[in-house]
Chains A and B, each alone.
Chain A
Amino acid sequence: MHTYILRRILLSIPTFLGAVVLVFVIMRLLPGDVVSVLVPGGEGTTASTEQIQRLREQLGLTRPLYIQFWDWFTKAVRFNFGQSLWTGQPITSEFKLRYPVTISLLVVSLAVSVAIALPAGVLMALKQDTWVDYALRIFTIAGLSVPNFFVAILLILGLLLFFNWTPPLEYRPLWEDPWLNFKRFILPAVATGYRLSAIGARMTRSSMLEVLREDYIRTARAKGLREMVVVSRHALKNAIIPVVTLIGLEVIALFGGIVIVETVFTIPGMGRFLVDAIFHRDYTSVQALVFVFAIFVLVVNLVVDLVYAWLDPRIRYR
């Protein structure tokens, strides 16, 4: 197991480096560099060509690309990303404020989707081809079809219409006011989690159907175990392995949903930061965000692989 973990970690390093280099080069190849954002061109420009050139030198943009990269990279690995072009604030301090928000949203979304996916999937498998199955199948396909921002709008409209309730807009850290946090995050979490719960439920259904046909399930039933025990202890335990992997991998896609939902609900997280940075052409922040996202994805992939190897020992010996 240890060699497997080590090998997996070592293998993901070149991928990460490749992604970081790619993003860096792309950001440098963009038409119009940092200076053209800092110094607006066109009418009423006061900066002379000389001044622009001096600014370029000050920012180190005239140096060879690989030196620029090395300079940026050695700082980035210590989580020093320089300053935001838009706000002028250090990006790292911005991250420190924002990442707990996004992580809590991610965790609540994940909890919501698992809480829906497992029971729905098991129910669909047990009631295969009945109206329960069909209804839940339409519910899950809808989950894959309705865009998360529309789910958000429908939720807000529905709650307003039927309960005359609007979600709170302020934000306080989880440990200060858990109840406010719940009220704040439950709607965005449902909006992002619905899609993942649909994917999870479908996977649970097909995985359960496969397991329920196994001999050991027949044996368990034959020796007179209660159906409840057969389903939960024998079937679900085996059926859940592929579901865990899938949900783990879909966490990455969940991130895309969070970018949108943070915008809809004006939640000051990492996703909102990305959208703002892109809007203001704040390249240093975009670069830093991509760096952090790439680390996040690689860590998730690693964890999923390790969990899988731990659940299914056959994987390790390949």
Chain B
Amino acid sequence: MAWPQAQEQRLMAGILAKRRRWLAGLVRFARRKPLGALGAVVMLLFAVMALAPGLFGAGNPNVQDAAQILKPPSSAHWFGTDNFGRDMYSRIVYGARISVYVGLASTVIATLVGLVLGLVSAYYSGWVDNLVQRLMDILFTLPPLVLALAIVTMLGPSMNNVLIAISIPRIPGTVRLVRSVALSVNHTQYMEAARALGAGPLRQMFLHMAPNCLAPLIVYATAGLGTAILTEASLSFLGMGVPPPAPSWGRMLSVEAMRYFEILPWLAIFPGIAISAAVFGANLFGDALRDALDPKLRGRT
């Protein structure tokens, strides 16, 4: 039997209303947090750059032109060319791919691993908790960049290893955050009710504890996004990032740029601005999101 038309209309109206509420929420966020909205726009811009570099008029980033080596910015090469005669503008646009990918993927990895470890640690307590926490303490004993460097040395420089090296130092903080939130809800009445209804450990952890961790976790993950992009740039800068010829912003700033930037400043300026802008956008957005989601700060400026 077909649905009565009235019911279908009501359903559609409901969906539309929901969509409008979402839009209204976005508009409210943009109006209250103009800087946060600016950050979101910048992030979106880099995301589009990563997905569709052609839209920005970027050519092949790895084409070498022996006749066009180390040329200053011109109408043909907006950001000049590097020591292989490659177009800097195209390389920077394509470089967004590496930064966006590493930033997002390391955030997802660190958040998921941190969520599971944190929940397990809080739920089982006892020796499991102790073991996980001591492991996290050990990870905390090294400066994040030094830890990332050590991991890349160990595994060898490649895209995936760089990703692992950036994700691991982000895990302990996430675990601590999840654990503290999970511990605070473990003795609430609804957890007791869930237990009384016979919910198993997995159901309790992921259906009842995890949703409570969501808001602080989103804030923490977003705040770490900028740092992840910075770490990737730093690793590449030290020559331990994604191997060449991949157009990584950090690497563009290293070897040749470091040697010649006093006479050929465009080699350093444009990639440097690209890194700074991407991280700036992520930080602005993260800040605004924290203000909007943190109940302690709500309603205050």
A296 to chain B, nearest CB (A): 9
A286 touches B276 (CB 8 A): no
Within 8 A of B (CB), among A248-270: 252-253, 255-257, 259-260, 263-264
Partner of B134, one of A15, A260, A274: A15
Report the separation of the CA atoms of residues A153 and B235 in the bound assembly, to the nearest whole angstrom.
17
**B268 contacts partner chain A, Cβ-Cβ < 8 Å:** yes
Which listed residue (B140, B238, B301) contacts A263, Cβ 8 A? B238
- In terms of DSSP, what is the predominant structure of the interface of chain A? helix
As a 0/1 sequence over residues 117 to 159 of chain B, the CB contacts with chain A under 8 angstroms (1 = contact) are 0000000000000000011011011111110011001100000
Residues of A within 8 A of B146 (CB): 255-256, 259, 274, 290, 293
Question: Nearest chain B CB to A197's CB is how many angstroms away?
Answer: 15
List chain B residues, Cβ under 8 A from A157. 261-262, 265, 268
Residue of B with least CB distance to A195: B230
* B145-A156 in contact (CB<8A): no
CB-defined interface of A123-164 with B at 8 Å, one 1/0 digit per residue? 000001100000001100110111101100110110010000
Judged by a CB distance under 8 angstroms, whether B226 is at the interface is yes
Judged by a CB distance under 8 angstroms, whether A298 is at the interface is yes
Query: Which of B1-9, B66-74, B279-287 lies at the interface?
Result: B279-287
Cβ of B233 < 8 Å from any Cβ of A?
Answer: yes
Q: How many residues does chain B have at the interface if contact means C-beta atoms less than 8 Å apart?
A: 42
Query: Which residues of A in the span 2-42 have a Cβ within 8 Å of any Cβ on B?
Result: 14-16, 18-19, 22-23, 26, 30
- For A260, what are the chain B residues with a Cβ–Cβ distance below 8 Å? 145, 234, 237-238
CB-defined contacts of A259 to chain B, threshold 8 Å: 143, 145-146, 149, 238
From B142, B230, B261, give the contact of A290 (CB < 8 A): B142
Which B residues are CB-close (under 8 A) to A186? none
Interface string of B244-284 (1 = CB under 8 A from A): 00000010010001100110010010001001100110111
B182 within 8 A of A: no
Interface pair A147/B154, CB less than 8 Å apart: no
Q: Counting CB contacts under 8 A, is A241 at the interface?
A: no
A294 at the interface (CB under 8 A from B): yes
Q: Is B240 an interface residue (CB 8 A)?
A: yes
What chain A residues lie within 8 Å of B265 (beta carbons)? 157
A16 touches B141 (CB 8 A): yes
Is A175 in the interface zone, CB < 8 Å from B?
no
Is B59 part of the binding interface, using a Cβ–Cβ cutoff of 8 Å? no
Contacting residues, chain A, for B137 (C-beta < 8 A): 15, 18
Contact assessment for B272 and A153 in the assembled complex, using a CB-CB cutoff below 8 Å: yes
Q: Which residues of B contact A145 (CB under 8 A)?
A: 226, 230, 276, 279-280, 282-283
Which single member of B140, B150, B275, B284 contacts A147 (CB below 8 Å)? B275
CB-nearest residue of chain A relative to B149?
Answer: A278
Which chain B positions have C-beta within 8 A of A275?
A: 149, 238
Partner of B268, one of A153, A252, A263, A278: A153
Least Cβ distance of A291 to chain B in Å?
Answer: 10
- On chain A, the residues within 8 Å of B243 by CB distance are none
A279: Cβ under 8 A from any B Cβ: yes
| Contact between A146 and B276, CB atoms less than 8 A apart | yes
CB distance B141 to A150 under 8 Å? no
The yes or no answer to A297 lying at the interface (CB within 8 A) is: yes
B238 and A141 contacting across the interface, CB-CB below 8 Å = no
CB contact under 8 A between A14 and B134, given known A150-B268, A256-B144, A275-B238: yes
A150 near B153: Cβ-Cβ < 8 Å: no
User: Is A15's CB under 8 angstroms from B141's CB?
Assistant: yes
A85 to B279, CA, bound (A): 38
Distance to closest chain B CB from A186 (angstroms) = 18
- Find out whether the CB atom of A274 lies under 8 angstroms from the CB atom of B149: yes
A 271-317 contacts with B by CB, 8 A: 274-275, 278-279, 281, 286, 290, 293-294, 297-298
Contact (Cβ within 8 A) A156 B262: yes
Could you tell me the distance in whole angstroms from the C-beta of B277 to the nearest C-beta in chain A?
A: 8
**Complexed CA–CA distance, A149 and B276 (Å):** 11
Residue ID in chain B nearest A29 by CB atoms: B154
Q: Residue on B with the closest CB to A143?
A: B283
- B239: interface (CB < 8 Å): yes
Residues of A within 8 A of B283 (CB): 141, 144-145
Are B154 and A149 closer than 8 Å at their CB atoms?
A: no
Given contacts A156-B262, A260-B238, A274-B149, contact A26 B141 (CB under 8 A): no
Is there contact, CB below 8 Å, between A30 and B141?
no
**CB of A174, distance to nearest CB on chain B (Å):** 24
5 further A-B pairs in the complex, CB-CB below 8 A; given A141-B283, A145-B230, A157-B268: A14-B134, A18-B138, A19-B138, A153-B253, A259-B143
Interface residues of B (CB under 8 A from A): 35, 134-135, 137-138, 140-146, 149-150, 153-154, 226, 230, 233-234, 237-240, 250, 253, 257-258, 261-262, 265, 268, 272, 275-276, 279-280, 282-284, 287, 301
List 24 A-B residue pairs with CB atoms under 8 Å apart, sorted by A's residue number.
A15-B137, A15-B141, A16-B141, A18-B137, A141-B284, A142-B276, A144-B283, A146-B280, A147-B253, A149-B237, A153-B268, A157-B265, A157-B268, A255-B145, A256-B234, A257-B145, A259-B143, A260-B238, A274-B146, A274-B149, A275-B149, A278-B153, A290-B142, A290-B150
Minimum-distance CB pairs A-B, first 9: A256-B145, A150-B272, A145-B280, A145-B279, A255-B143, A19-B141, A15-B137, A146-B276, A18-B138
